[in-house]
Structure 1
Amino acid sequence: MRNSVEFKVYGDYALFTDPLTKMGGEKLSYQIPTYQAIKGILESVYWKPTILYVIDEVRVMNPIRMESKGIRPIEYGGGNTLANYTYLKDVCYQVRAHFIFNPHRPDLAFDRNEHKHHNILKRSLKSGGRRDIFLGTRECQGYVEPCVFGEGESVYDDIEEIHFGTMVHGINYPDETGKDQMEIRLWNPVMKNGVISFIRPDQCTQVRPIADMKPKHFDEKNMESVEHLYEELEGGRE
């Protein structure tokens, strides 16, 4: 696929929080990563407002295991609360994704250089990303590296289907949809032989509004300094 990348992301723990479990201060991870979580990982590898990442497939390599921990959340008003967080343990995923140019950002048309962005993305993957990689939440450090999607064995290769019920797919932001509103998307994922094929955000039929929001404006002037910084970083790695 055009502008595609394949990579492995892994770590000791992950917490892709089910929002329903946050009501009482507890956190319980979904069994699999959300579309938004994988997109966020890719944006930590390399991000520009000119492009939109599309997550195509995720392959679950390790068995789905969980571990609960007693956590003391930060209490800014004082207190000594103990909460129970349930994490995924020893996670490893293969990801296939690609990028497109953001059709809702005509102000960034000058930056639509497909070859440039694809090459920077591939170099950033090889170096482990431009920013820290987190698996759902900040305390869960992750790592990325290029791979060949489908290579190696998954513990779920011989399991035909696993249904995970209704889950959060991701969040619609104004600069990605052209609407002055933030929305949340829901879907019903199915894993087939270890592979979850994500539907595109515009294919989600269950969409709920969250809040009004305006997109951030970019132009050539405030992109110049960013471009200059990227050039310096790339030059320093050669």
Structure 2
Amino acid sequence: MRNAIEFEVFGSYALFTDPLTKIGGEKLSYQVPTYQALKGVVESIYWKPTLVMIVDEVRIMNPIRMESKGVRPIEYGGGNTLANYTYLRDVRYQVRAHFEFNMNRPELEYDRNEHKHHNILKRSLRAGGRRDIFLGTRECQAYVEPCVFGEGDGFYDKYEEIHLGTMVHGINYPDETGRNQMEVRLWNPVMKNGVIRFPRPEQCTQIRPISSMKPKHFDSTNLLSVDDLFAELEEVDKR
């Protein structure tokens, strides 16, 4: 696929929180990663507002195991609450994703250099990402490395179809949809022989509005060229 990358992401724990379990202060992970969580991993490898990252599919490599922990949430008003969080343990996923240009950002049209961004994305992946990688929540540190999607043995390779019920697919932001509101997408994933194929965000039919929101606009007032950035750094060094 055009502008695609294939990588493996793995870690000791993951927490893809089912929002229904957060009402009472507890957290319970979905059995598999959400589209939005994997999109976050791709954007931690390389992100530019010029691009929209699309996650195509994920392959579940390790058996789904869960582990509960007693956690003390941060309470800024004081208190000594003990909450129960249920994590996925010893996770490993193969992911295939690609990028497209964000057509809702005409002010960044000058930056639509496909070859440049694809090469930077691949270099960033080989380096382990530009930002910290985590799976679902910040405490679940993870690591990425290039792979060939489909290679190696996965635990669910011969499990045929497993229906996973209703899950959050991801979040619609106004800079990607052109609508001035934040929305949540729901879907009913099916894992077939260990692989989950994601529909594109615009193909999801179960959409719920969350709140009004306007996209951030990038122009000369908040977007520096490389020359301007170096000039500012030189001024800082002189002080």
TM-score range, shorter chain: over 0.9
- Within the alignment, does 1:193 sit opposite 2:193 as a pair? yes
Superposed CA offset, 1:66-118 (max 9, x none): 00000000111111000000000000000001000011111110110001100
- Where does residue 215 of structure 1 map in the other structure? 215
Equivalent residue number for residue 237 of structure 2: none
Q: Which residue of 1 aligns with 2:136?
A: 136
- AA aligned to 1:148 is V
How far off its partner does 1:222 sit?
Answer: 3.8
Q: Which amino acid aligns with 1:93?
A: Y
Residue 76, structure 1, aligned to residue 71, structure 2: no
User: CA shift at 1:219, angstroms?
Assistant: 2.3
Q: What is the Cα deviation at residue 187 of structure 1?
A: 0.2
TM-score, length basis structure 1: 0.94
- Per the TM alignment, residue 29 of structure 1 is displaced from its structure 2 partner at its CA by 0.2
Tell me the residue number matched to 1:151: 151
Tell me the CA shift for residue 228 of structure 1. 7.9
| TM-score, normalisation: structure 2 | 0.93
**Counterpart in the other structure of 2:64:** 64
- Whichever residue aligns with residue 74 of structure 1, its letter is I
- Larger CA Rg, structure 1 vs 2: 2
How far 1:50 sits from its partner (Å)?
0.3
For 2:168, the equivalent position in structure 1 comes to: 168
2:79 alignment partner, SS class: coil
Q: 1:226 to 1:66 in 2, by over 3 A?
A: farther
Q: Which structure 1 residue ranges, 5 or more long, are not aligned?
A: 230-238
Q: State the distance in 1 between where 2:182 and 2:57 align.
A: 25
| Residue identity (%) | 78
How many residues are aligned here? 230
Q: Distance in 1 between matches of 2:117 and 2:61?
A: 29
Structure 2 distance, partners of 1:194, 1:65, is 15
| Residues 1-238 of structure 1 aligned to structure 2 (within 5 Å) | 1-219=1-219, 222-225=222-225
Secondary structure in structure 2 of the residue aligned to 1:7: strand
CA distance in structure 1 between the partners assigned to 2:14 and 2:224 by the alignment: 36
User: Structure 1 CA distance, aligned partners of 2:83 and 2:14?
Assistant: 17
Q: Aligned in 2, Cα 1:210/1:23: closer, same or farther, shift over 3 Å?
A: same
Structure 1 CA distance for aligned equivalents of residues 227 and 39 of structure 2: 22
Q: Which moved more, 1:211-220 or 1:67-76?
A: 211-220
Kindly tell me: are residues 146 and 55 of structure 1, through their superposed partners in 2, closer, same or farther at Cα, counting changes over 3 Å?
same
Displacement of 1:224 in angstroms is: 3.3
Name stretches of at least 5 consecutive residues in structure 2 with no aligned partner: 230-239
Residue type at the aligned position of 1:78: G
